[in-house]
């Protein structure tokens, strides 16, 4: 069946139409167009641009539904993200007349029962976290991943964290015949050399789509109490669902408690919650039991919580890349979103660096319970510096002579120009 110019299996098209897909996104087009060139793929595209279906659709379209062996392995850095991918894969499979076996291995389950079942049967699509996959495939040797035609790393910049390299080594060496496809919203330069260890003959897809559906608003604290500024901000907005980010679990717990005591409907998510508690929180968010979710960056990576209309950076993330991932929780799939960030004078350098990432913020402050434009933020971009008069500076190095000879004036002017040019070059090097 033809869909947006691509020949796909009937059940895939039915699944896409059930999701109200009318056409594919840019990253999906780019990935599909590069599937048959015998190259591995590294795809960089902003959060919410449709990366998950850009690898799920090809996997199902190439799947042999009658062959019960591992045909695709998908790894994710967190249990929440692996579960989300699993549910999206199950949705597509539910439209197939034939049985498709998809398994999610990400911890928090009966390990012995999994080992026993894998000794007699094999899933066709495997989704999970690196540690769990390595345990079943390498240590226990019951999950036969060597037959996989596709190896997918979602949120690859987290997957290639130093703590995961040993697990990745064990898995990647088994997948000699698989097509490697790595996806992320950001790729830090420091991990690219590590990637080259695992992936060669690469097609790099870099989707630079406009971020115009997300509005960035930065608010100065100006030595005011952070929580009081937050409450003032909340009184100016009516979010469908708002995620409020802190940097530490202790801060999440404290802030969620304060908001709850002040009458807000609040949930919280951090790394110390059990798998069951996290699943419950995500389910309740999607059921709109909460209007606010206070969380650490564990909720910033790849998790699709529906209906997030607002993001608040109660504390700025230490890593610039996490600002982008947090922002990506809203404005998904062409919906609008707003990101509010609190900052102090000490954060000026941090904000200057974010400006270099093509984020065009607006600056506001809260006055008389309203957001009004703030003109106090002195960004490098907006600073007006007088132009340096290099010739005037050079004249200081070439004083006028008391006695002059013929041609003196011309020689002096040449000398001044030479020094001025030298000063200009030094200034350019310093700015770089």
Let me know whether 218 and 352 are in one domain: yes
Let me know whether 364 and 411 are in one domain: no
Instruction: Out of 115-119, 253-257, 318-322, 354-358, pick the least confident.
Output: 354-358
Top mean pLDDT of 88-97, 200-209, 232-241, 367-376 is at 88-97
Instruction: Out of 77-86, 151-160, 264-273, 327-336, pick the least confident.
Output: 327-336
Domain count along the chain: 3
Domain stop point among 159, 180, 206: 206
Let me know whether 263 and 333 are in one domain: yes
Let me know whether 173 and 219 are in one domain: no
Residue 397 has pLDDT above 80, yes or no: no
E strand or H helix at 14, and its extent?
Answer: helix 10-18
Residue 330 belongs to what domain range?
214-373
Residue 319 has pLDDT above 60, yes or no: yes
Let me know whether 172 and 84 are in one domain: yes
**Which single residue is written with the structure tokens 């949120």?**
155
Let me know whether 202 and 219 are in one domain: no
Segment 299-308, tens digit of pLDDT: 656 566 777 8
Q: Which residue has the higher pLDDT, 341 or 412?
A: 341
* C-alpha–C-alpha distance, residues 250 and 294, integer Å: 11
CATH number for the domain harbouring residue 341: 3.40.50.300
Let me know whether 20 and 140 are in one domain: yes
Q: Which residues of 206-223 are buried (b: 16+ CB within 10 A; e: fewer)?
A: ebeeebeebbbbbbbbee
Q: Which two tokens stand for residue 191?
A: 């991990």
Average pLDDT score, the chain: 84
> Mean pLDDT throughout 339-352?
84
- Helix axis angle, 10-18 to 51-61, nearest 10°: 160
DSSP code of residue 139: I
For residue 384, being part of any structural domain is answered with no
Let me know whether 400 and 316 are in one domain: no
Q: What is the pTM of this model?
A: 0.59
């Amino acid at each position: 069946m033809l869909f947006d110019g691509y020949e796909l299996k009937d059940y895939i098209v039915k699944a896409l139409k059930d999701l109200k897909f009318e056409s594919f996104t840019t990253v999906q087009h780019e990935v599909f167009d590069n599937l048959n060139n015998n190259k591995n793929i590294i795809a960089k595209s902003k959060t919410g641009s449709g990366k998950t279906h850009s690898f799920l659709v090809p996997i199902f379209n190439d799947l042999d539904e009658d062959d019960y062996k591992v045909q695709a392995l998908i790894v994710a850095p967190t249990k929440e993200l692996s579960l989300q991918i699993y549910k999206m894969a199950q949705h597509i499979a539910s439209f197939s007349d034939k049985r498709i076996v998809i398994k999610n291995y990400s911890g928090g389950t009966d390990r012995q029962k999994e080992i026993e079942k894998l000794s007699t049967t094999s899933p066709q699509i495997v989704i999970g976290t690196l540690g769990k996959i390595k345990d079943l495939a390498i240590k226990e040797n019951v999950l036969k991943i060597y037959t996989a035609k596709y190896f997918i790393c979602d949120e690859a910049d987290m997957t290639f964290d130093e703590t995961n390299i040993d697990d990745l080594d064990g898995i990647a060496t088994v997948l000699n015949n698989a097509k490697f496809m790595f996806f992320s919203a950001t790729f830090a330069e420091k991990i690219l050399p590590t990637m080259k260890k695992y992936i060669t003959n690469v097609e790099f897809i870099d989707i630079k789509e406009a971020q115009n559906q997300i509005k960035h608003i930065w608010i100065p604290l100006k030595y005011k109490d952070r929580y009081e500024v937050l409450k003032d901000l909340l009184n100016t907005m009516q979010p469908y669902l708002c995620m409020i980010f802190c940097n530490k679990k202790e801060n999440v717990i404290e802030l969620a408690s304060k908001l709850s005591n002040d009458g807000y409907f609040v949930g919280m998510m951090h790394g110390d919650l059990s798998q069951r508690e996290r699943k419950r929180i995500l389910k309740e968010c999607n059921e709109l039991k909460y209007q606010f979710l206070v969380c650490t960056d564990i909720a910033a990576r790849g998790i699709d919580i529906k209906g997030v209309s607002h993001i608040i950076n109660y504390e700025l993330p230490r890593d610039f890349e996490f600002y982008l991932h947090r922002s990506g929780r809203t404005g998904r799939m062409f919906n609008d979103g707003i990101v509010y960030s609190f900052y102090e004078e000490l954060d000026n350098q941090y904000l200057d660096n974010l400006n270099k990432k093509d984020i065009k913020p607006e600056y506001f402050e809260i006055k008389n319970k309203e957001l009004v434009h703030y003109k106090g933020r002195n960004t490098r971009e907006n600073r007006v510096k007088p132009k340096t008069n290099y010739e005037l500076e050079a004249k200081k190095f070439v004083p006028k002579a008391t006695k002059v000879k013929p041609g003196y004036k011309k020689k002096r002017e040449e000398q001044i120009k030479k020094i001025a040019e030298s000063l200009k070059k030094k200034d350019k090097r310093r700015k770089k």
